[in-house]
Chain A
């Protein structure tokens, strides 16, 4: 099983739609989780950290399910500018600094 696994997509949804991505991780001891977005040929940029209690930032909601070892990202009222690749990121539990990236889920919002 891959350390961090994501559906590569692409997800192609109309503007205004709600879309959700899941990401699974293999190490049950993992503690820190993040969602980054990456535009084509650009650097990854933090979208949000994922907390045990779940967290929301505007149109974005992140959830953590430790029992099933997955994290999710929900985007409501999607905008054209949300088109990007969304990267699931997990901090290695045995490490203070090594983060593992998923392969990313491509999202394309159409007008």
Chain B
């Protein structure tokens, strides 16, 4: 069964450093997403991406964040200058052709720890 993959599984970084989280969505999916989950809190939407551009973003997704699909398979989330409060689990997800109804499949997540 196809699945979303994410690397690394755990990233530790110093405050102020840039990090890039990587995702490989399911191959025939067209919509890609990033979510985050701070420990003990709910899953929060960050951004959705379709047709090589951002289609929605939340208020969390400020200028420190960017997303990119650098090639036909990877989807990345960059945090330019990490803050302590960026420590969280970051989940990538993808869905098929109909974003209104298609299931979003989640990757296993990257645990980001900012020191």
In the bound complex, what is the Cα–Cα distance between A45 and B48 (angstroms)?
18
11 A-B pairs with C-beta separation under 8 A: A34-B103, A42-B108, A46-B103, A46-B104, A49-B101, A87-B42, A87-B43, A97-B99, A98-B45, A101-B35, A101-B45
A96 pairs with B100, CB closer than 8 A: yes
Evaluate whether A43 and B45 lie within 8 angstroms (CB atoms) in the complex, with A96-B100, A98-B58 already known. no
Question: How many of B's residues come within 8 Å of A, CB to CB?
Answer: 25
A26-47 near B? 1/0 per residue, CB < 8 Å: 0000011010001001111110
Picked from B100, B106, B109, the residue with its CB within 8 Å of the CB of A31 is B100
A96 pairs with B103, CB closer than 8 A: no
Tell me the A88-111 residues at the B interface (CB within 8 Å).
91, 95-104
B55 within 8 A of A: yes
In the bound complex, what is the Cα–Cα distance between A26 and B19 (angstroms)?
36
Picked from B45, B99, B100, the residue with its CB within 8 Å of the CB of A100 is B45
Residues of B that sit less than 8 Å from A by CB: 31, 33, 35, 41-45, 48, 50, 55-56, 58, 89, 91, 99-101, 103-109
Picked from A32, A44, A96, the residue with its CB within 8 Å of the CB of B91 is A44
Q: Using a Cβ cutoff of 8 Å, how many contacts connect chains A and B?
A: 53
In the bound complex, what is the Cα–Cα distance between A105 and B105 (angstroms)?
20
Evaluate whether A44 and B58 lie within 8 angstroms (CB atoms) in the complex, with A87-B43, A97-B48, A100-B45 already known. no
Q: Report chain A residues within 8 Å CB of B35.
A: 101
B104 pairs with A99, CB closer than 8 A: yes
Q: Report chain B residues within 8 Å CB of A99.
A: 45, 104
